[in-house]
Structure formats: structure tokens, C-alpha cells
Amino acid sequence: MTRRPSLSALIIAGGRGTRLWPASRERTPKPLFSADGKRSLLEATIARLSPLVAPDRIFVLAAAAHAAAFRRALRGVIPARNLIIEPAARGTAVAIAYGAAVIERRLKAGVVAVMPADHIIEPAAGFRATLTAAAGLAAARRAIVVIGIPPTRPETGFGYQKIGAAIGAGFKVDRFIEKPALAGARRMARSGKYLWNAGMFVLDSRTLAAELAEHSPALAAAARALAAAPRARFPRAYKRLKFDSFDREVVERSRNVITVPARFRWHDVGSWEGLRQAVANDGASVIRGRVLALDSERIVAHSDSRLMVVFGISDLIAIDTGDAILIAHRNRSDEIRQIPETLATRRLHKYL
């Protein structure tokens, strides 16, 4: 019987989630947003890893600007020392290289599952089964294993993987396609030969070191230097790093990438309309907090404290966080990111 490889998890908790303004702010970044009003996206991510990954093998990487918020949120959930702080956000390539180096120093070499902190995934058992299959391939094949999502619609905002020959529980990735035009997305979604990228990677730490050395030697050298840097010099050295995403620096250049199709439902909750689609049927609404909705449909309404009454409306987003109110059409949900940009320009920083 093949022994299951020891598995650790690196959860990347970056991003402000500007399309979820005003609920997602600098003081409450997107991973701490609650999709169901009960627990945050980060808490849900950690919970579905159990019992496959023990709490002392789960690490969360976040930017220094959010350190206090994440320390509070993770108290008693994972060991305090397992919160890895970046002096500044420098993209997924740097985050993964540095986070994996920290894990290897703590736990020695092993298989690491890297995932975002802000996705909705169900069922948890299917997620763990997918990770188990991916970890087995990562250990046996010394490959970068990516999780692929079977497309449910012609989505132009996601990247795609073209699958090739079967390899165990997965498939060789023939190539990657980044955010295709609608016609191409329709063709790929119908073909059955493409999967969506989910931003989840499973690989052995030794495989990561070898791939970095081959495809991004400057990043490999920087990661080694950071590991040895005195703490006083560490923030300055980290902030000087400039690299592209992990996909572009490493994954798309590698010749040994395997995809494992997801055995779970997946939603990348990037906007209020994305949240509605993730947790409600097509014509349904998402109502949270002190909201009374009457004769209304396809809305997202949330109030932290005051009573909100919505009457006779449809296709709107109404969010009240106490100090800010958002009213927007759901079809313009992706454009809400413009609001924090405008607030910053007008020096209304307390609302960011």
C-alpha cells in the first residue's frame, strides 16, 4: 500500500476585494468577508481542510497592512506562528516562493497545497478527495499539479487549461489559455477538453525549488536570500522584489504540469453579483443582516445594523455597513472597483 505523502497547506490571503466594497475594506480585507453571514471565507477555507491537513500544518500568508486583522481572526484556529506576514504584497510568485520556504524550514520537505483564501467550495469532502489525488500525483510524478474546474458556462474572465493524455487521476496539461474571447470560451466550454484555472497548486517543495531554479532563477535566489536575511533588512529586501504571477513565472513555462479535475462546485466570489450567483438560484436574492425585502427579486441586500427595507425593486445591490451605503445595479457589479479608486482620489481614505 502506497503511503500518503505528508501534506501542508499554504493559504494566500491577499487582495482587498474592491468589487465587494463597502463590506471589503482595508481593515476587513476580502478573505475576512462572510458569504453566509456566519463565518469568513478564510475560516471556511481552513475548515474544509480538516481532517486531511492538521491545524499545525496550515499556514496563512497575508500582507503586513492586514496583520492585526488576521491575527484576531486566526486566534485559536491555527498556531499564531503559522501566520506568515509579507512586508508588502508582491504577487503570487513571490508569495508562494516565500511561503513554501517558511513551511520547509518548519516542517522539512514535503507536499504543499497552495490555495486562495476567498473561494466558495462545496462539498468539502469532494475538495479533500481532489487534494488527496493531487498530492499523490505531486509526490509520485515530481510534477506541478493544478486543480481544474469543469466549465459550467462560457466564461471570459477565467484562464483555461487544455487537457491531454491521462496520468493517474489527472491529465497532462497541453497548454494554458488566458481569458479568451466569448467565441473561444463557448467553443472550449462545449468541447470537454478544457478546464478553468482555479489558482490552486499542489507540489513537492523540492519540485518547487527545481522549477524556480529552471524558470525563474532570480526569484529562486531572492527566496534563498530572504530566508537568510536579518529581520531588520528583510522588509526592505522584500519590497524590492518584482516578479509576475506564479502561473506566468513558473507554471506556464514548466514541461511537467498535471491537472486534476475538481470533484467539487467552485465559485470565485469576486463581486456582489458573483456572491449572488454562488449562493442563490438564478432568480433568487441574497439577503443578510437586518433587511426586510418585499416584492423584490434578484437583489443583494445587506445591513450591518440599521433596518433596511427594500420594496418593489429588482436587479439591485444595496449594502449598508453603518458608515457607507452602496446602491448599484447588479449588471455593473464588476465596476464597483472604481469606487475605492475614486475615494482615494478624493482623499476619502477613511472609507477605503
Buried b / exposed e over 22-37, threshold 16 CB at 10 Å, is bbbbeebbbbbbbbee
So what's the pLDDT on residue 1?
A: 42
Q: Are residues 77 and 153 in the same domain?
A: yes
So what's the pLDDT on residue 113?
A: 98
Q: Are residues 287 and 299 in the same domain?
A: yes
* Separation CA 99–CA 84 (nearest Å): 7
Q: Is position 1 within any domain? A: no
Q: Are residues 16 and 103 in the same domain?
A: yes
User: In terms of DSSP bridges, do strands 257-261 and 144-149 run parallel, antiparallel, or are they unpaired?
Assistant: parallel
Number of independent structural domains in the chain: 2
Between helix 217-228 and helix 205-215 the angle, nearest 10°, is 120
So what's the pLDDT on residue 279?
A: 80
Output 69-74 pairs: Cβ under 8 A, ≥24 positions apart. 69/27, 69/28, 69/29, 69/32, 70/13, 70/31, 70/32, 70/42, 73/32, 73/40, 73/42, 73/43, 74/42
So what's the pLDDT on residue 17?
A: 80
**Alpha helices (H) along the chain:** 41-47, 67-74, 91-107, 124-141, 182-191, 205-215, 217-228, 234-239, 246-249, 272-279, 338-345
Per-residue pLDDT of the chain (352 residues; tens, 9 = 90+): 445 668 999 999 977 788 899 988 887 888 998 877 788 999 999 999 999 999 999 999 998 888 999 999 999 999 999 999 988 888 899 999 999 989 998 998 899 999 999 899 999 999 999 999 999 999 999 999 999 999 988 888 889 999 999 999 999 999 999 888 999 999 999 999 999 999 999 999 999 999 999 999 999 888 877 766 777 678 888 888 889 899 999 999 999 999 999 999 998 888 888 888 888 766 689 998 899 999 999 999 999 889 999 999 999 999 999 999 999 999 899 899 999 999 999 999 999 8
Q: Are residues 78 and 148 in the same domain?
A: yes
So what's the pLDDT on residue 282?
A: 66
Q: Are residues 207 and 308 in the same domain?
A: no
Measuring CA to CA, which residue among 59, 79, 65, 67 is closest to residue 11? 59
User: In terms of DSSP bridges, do strands 111-116 and 286-294 run parallel, antiparallel, or are they unpaired?
Assistant: unpaired
Q: What are phi and psi of 269, to 5 degrees?
A: -80, 85
In the listed set 226, 247, 268, which residue is the last one of a domain according to the structure? 268
Q: Are residues 248 and 314 in the same domain?
A: no
Q: Is position 168 within any domain? A: yes
Q: Are residues 233 and 295 in the same domain?
A: no
Q: Which residue range is the domain that position 113 belongs to? A: 7-268
CATH for 203:
3.90.550.10
User: Could you tell me which residues are beta bridge partners of residue 289?
Assistant: 303
In the listed set 206, 234, 268, which residue is the last one of a domain according to the structure? 268
Q: Is position 84 within any domain? A: yes
Q: Which three cell numbers stand for residue 125?
A: 469532502
So what's the pLDDT on residue 2?
A: 47
Measuring CA to CA, which residue among 301, 302, 303, 297 is closest to residue 315? 297
So what's the pLDDT on residue 304?
A: 85
* Separation CA 129–CA 77 (nearest Å): 23
With cell 446602491, the residue in question is 327
In the listed set 251, 268, 285, which residue is the last one of a domain according to the structure? 268
Q: Are residues 211 and 326 in the same domain?
A: no
The DSSP result for 318-341, as a single string, is EEE-SS-EEEEEGGGGGGGGHHHH
Q: Are residues 113 and 254 in the same domain?
A: yes
Q: Is position 2 within any domain? A: no
Q: Is position 139 within any domain? A: yes
Torsion of CA 95, 96, 100, 102, to 10 degrees: 0
Q: Are residues 315 and 227 in the same domain?
A: no
Q: Is position 156 within any domain? A: yes
Q: Which three cell numbers stand for residue 270?
A: 469576486
Measuring CA to CA, which residue among 192, 205, 178 is closest to residue 261? 192
Q: Are residues 326 and 347 in the same domain?
A: yes
Q: Are residues 113 and 80 in the same domain?
A: yes
So what's the pLDDT on residue 4?
A: 61
Q: Is position 323 within any domain? A: yes
